[in-house]
Amino acid sequence: MNLVKEVLAAEIETSNGIPTLRGLEGLFENVVSAILALSGVVLFVMLIMGGIKYISSGGDPKGLEEAKKTLTTAIAGMLLVASAYLILALIERFTGVNVSVFKIQI
């Protein structure tokens, strides 16, 4: 519950006490940071679970296959997150547009 409060505790820009659209910039930044942190934790947990399943399978083909699927899924998720970052970095490099910063132009 505290994580949700921290994510939603973005600095909200106001004009005469009224929230503006620029408040979404901080909220979006916090949400993306939380999702990236959560994906790292999930990756670590899946790798540990897959390793434990692999070690404890005892040579059982069904258990080995399940462990391999868990490890493959974890590595595929890591590659997906890394490739998304790489694509954004390449777009930024070739176009010169800073796509890693969320700004609302009004």
Three-class DSSP labels, the chain: CHHHHHHHCCCCCEECCEECCCHHHHHHHHHHHHHHHHHHHHHHHHHHHHHHHHHHCCCCHHHHHHHHHHHHHHHHHHHHHHHHHHHHHHHHHHHCCCCCCCCCCC
Tokens for 3, please give them.
Answer: 């994580």
Task: Answer with the residue of higher pLDDT: 71 or 2.
Answer: 71
pLDDT of residue 17: 67
Its pTM stands at: 0.69
Ordered by start, the domain boundaries in the chain are 2-12+19-95
User: In this predicted model, which residue has the larger pLDDT, 96 or 25?
Assistant: 96
pLDDT digits (tens, 9 = 90+) for 4-44: 555 555 555 666 766 667 777 777 888 888 888 899 999 99
The predicted pLDDT at position 56 comes to 93
